[in-house]
Amino acid sequence: MTLMESFNTKLRGIMKIPELKARIVFTLLMFLVARVGTYIPAPGIDIERLSAMTAQNDLLGFINMFSGGAFQRISIFALGIVPYINASIVFSLLAVIIPKIEEIQKEGESGRAKISQWTRYVTILIAIMQGIGVCVWLTSSGLVINPGLRFMFVTITILTAGTVFLMWVGEQISVNGIGNGVSLLIFLNVISRGPSNIVQTIQIMKDSKFLIPILLAVAAAAVVVVGGIVLFQLGQRKIPVHYVGKGFGGRGGMAQNSYIPLKLNTSGVMPVIFASVMMMIPSLLIRSLPATFPFRDYLVLFFDSKHPVYMVLYALIIIFFSFFYTAIMFDPEKVADNLKQSGGTIPGIRPGEETVEYLEGVVTRITWGGAIFLAAICILPIIVFTAAGLPVFFGGTGIIIVVGVALDTVQQIDAHLVMKEYKGFL
C-alpha cells in the first residue's frame, strides 16, 4: 500500500465515525471564523504605512506572525490569543507561589472551572492594557488618522472584544472540536504567514546569484528539522515496571511486566509559546519609552532578536518553562504511590521514597535534554537567517509550534480511530 493509499484509508475511516467527522468539521469552521476576523480592520488607522513598517521590523513581524497577519492591519483580532496566554502564565506561576491556588486546582472539575473563570477575567484586563499600549504606539508613530480619546476608546474596545471572542473560539474548539483550541489558533496563525514569509525571503534574495542554492539549503534544513522534531516529540524513555499479584492477565500470583512511558519532551510546545510571548513584552515596553529615557538605545539593542543577549535570555526562558511545565504535567510522588498501591515495582528500586527519587532523577535528565533541544531549534535559525540576511521570524519557533501542535492533534484523531477499531495515522 502506497503512502497516498494509506492516507485515503485513514480518511475513509474518519468519515465513518460521525462524532469525529463532526468535531473536525467544527474545528475547520472555527478556523474560518478566526481567519475572516484577521481581515476586518479597526477604523482610523493608516494600514498601508503600518504594513510597510511591519515588513521592515523583525519584532513587528514576529508579533504579526502570532496574530496571523492581523497586527499589520490592526484588525479586530490584532492582539490575537496572546492576552489569554499571558493570563495562563500568570496563574501557572501563582499556583507555585500561592498554595491556596494550587489547592483550588486540585479540587477537580470545580476547581479547574474556577481557575478558568479567573483566567478569563485576567485576560480581559491584560487585553485592555495591551490595547492601550497599541493605541499609544500607533499615535506616537503617526499612524492614526484622527487621534484622540474617541479613537482610543473605540480601538481598545474593538481589540479587547476580539481577544475575548478568540478566547471563546479556542474554548469551543477544545470542547466541541479536536485538539487544544488555543494551541490550534496559534498553529493556524503561524502557518497562515508561511507563504508570505517565503515570498518575502525570495524578494530579499532575488538579486543574489546564490538564491537557488540558499533556498534549497533552507528547504533541506527545514525537512531535517521537522524530522528531528517529530522523532523528538514522539520519543519515549520507557521505565520497566514489574507487577506481582492477582488480577494480571487473569493468572493469580503470576508476575507481569510493563513500563512507564516518559516522553522525551513532556512539556510539548508550551515552553516555546510562553517564552516567545514573554520576550515580546519587554521588547515592546522598551520601544515605547521616550527617546530621552536613560540607556534606552542600549536596551533596544539588547532586546533585538539578533543580539546575543536576547538569544541567551530566550533560551533560558525556554529551559525554565520546560522544567516548570514538566513539573505540572508529571508528579513522581503520585506515580510512585500508584505503583505501590497496584503492586508494581521498578527493578532494583525499592517502593516509596526511593522510587520517587529515581523517577525525579530520570525526569530531570530527560527534561534537560528536551529543554536544550527546544532552545537550540529556536536559537540556531536566528543565527543562520541573520547571517544570510533573511527574516528572523522565518525560523525554528514557528516550525516547533506547527509540528508540535500538528502531532498532538493527529494523536487525538488516532485515539478516536483506535476506539472505533480503525488503525491510526501514527
Instruction: Give the Cα separation of 76 and 159 in Å (integer).
Output: 5
Long-range pairs, 7-14, Cβ under 8 A, ≥24: 10/417, 10/422, 10/423, 10/424, 10/425, 13/417, 13/420, 13/422, 13/423, 14/413, 14/417
Q: Establish if 260 belongs to a structural domain.
A: yes
- Is residue 4 in some structural domain? no
Higher-confidence position of 213 and 369: 369
Strand order in the sheet with 236-243: 256-263, 236-243, 344-345
Q: Which helix (H) or strand (E) holds 237?
A: strand 236-243
64 part of a folded domain: yes
- Domain end (from 162, 192, 222): 192
The answer to whether residue 1 is domain-embedded is no
For residue 5, being part of any structural domain is answered with no
Same domain, yes or no, for 269 and 414? yes
Is 214 inside a domain boundary? yes
Summarised one tens digit per residue, pLDDT across range 108-133 is 778 878 888 999 999 999 999 989 88
What stretch of H or E contains 242?
A: strand 236-243
pLDDT of the residue at 249: 46
Task: Give the separation between CA 342 and CA 64, rounded to whole angstroms.
Answer: 51
Structural domain boundaries, residue 281: 193-426
Q: What is the pLDDT of residues 336-374, one digit of tens each?
A: 888 888 888 888 888 888 888 998 999 999 999 889 988
Same domain, 339 and 405: yes
Q: Are 60 and 122 members of one domain?
A: yes
Residues 382, 386, 388, 393, Cα dihedral to 10°: 60
- The residue behind cell 534574495 is 205
Strands (E) across 13-152 are located at: none
Residue pLDDT, tens place only, 83-93: 898 888 888 77
Based on the structure, what is the number of domains in the chain? 2
The residue out of 192, 217, 235 marking a domain boundary is 192
Exposed / middle / buried, residue 331 (Cβ in 10 Å: 0-12, 13-18, 19+): middle
pTM of the full predicted structure? Answer: 0.78
Whether residue 218 is found in the same domain as residue 103 = no
CATH number at residue 249: 1.10.3370.10
293 lies in some domain: yes
Same domain, 150 and 296: no
Tell whether 230 and 125 lie within a shared domain: no
pLDDT at position 7, please? 66
Same-domain status, 153 and 292: no
Q: How far apart are CA 290 and CA 2, in angstroms?
A: 61
29-43, 166-180, 181-195: the lowest-pLDDT one: 181-195
Question: Counting Cβ atoms within 10 Å, is residue 4 exposed (0-12), middle (13-18) or buried (19+)?
Answer: exposed
55-64, 196-205, 251-260, 300-309: the lowest-pLDDT one: 251-260
| pLDDT digit string, tens, across residues 16-49 | 788 888 889 999 999 999 999 999 988 889 888 8
Quick one: pLDDT at residue 247?
46
When the pLDDT of each residue in the chain is averaged and rounded to a whole number, the result is: 81
Task: Verify that 179 and 198 share a domain, yes or no.
Answer: no
One domain, residues 282 and 416: yes
Residues 246 and 137 reside in one and the same domain:
no
Helix, strand or coil, per DSSP, at residue 291: coil
> Does one domain contain both 281 and 133?
no
State the Cα–Cα distance between residues 283 and 299, nearest whole angstrom. 9
Task: Tell me, yes or no, whether 9 lies in a domain.
Answer: no
Of the three residues 192, 207, 230, the one that is the final residue of a domain is 192
The residue type found at 346 is: I
Query: What average pLDDT score do residues 207-226 get?
Result: 76
pLDDT at 209 over 80: no
SS3 of 414, please?
Answer: helix
The more confident residue out of 216 and 315 is 315
On the question of pLDDT at 248 being above 60, the answer is no
Q: Are residues 173 and 302 in the same domain?
A: no
Collapsing DSSP to helix, strand or coil, 421 comes out as coil
CA-angle at 379, arms to 374 and 382, nearest 5°: 145
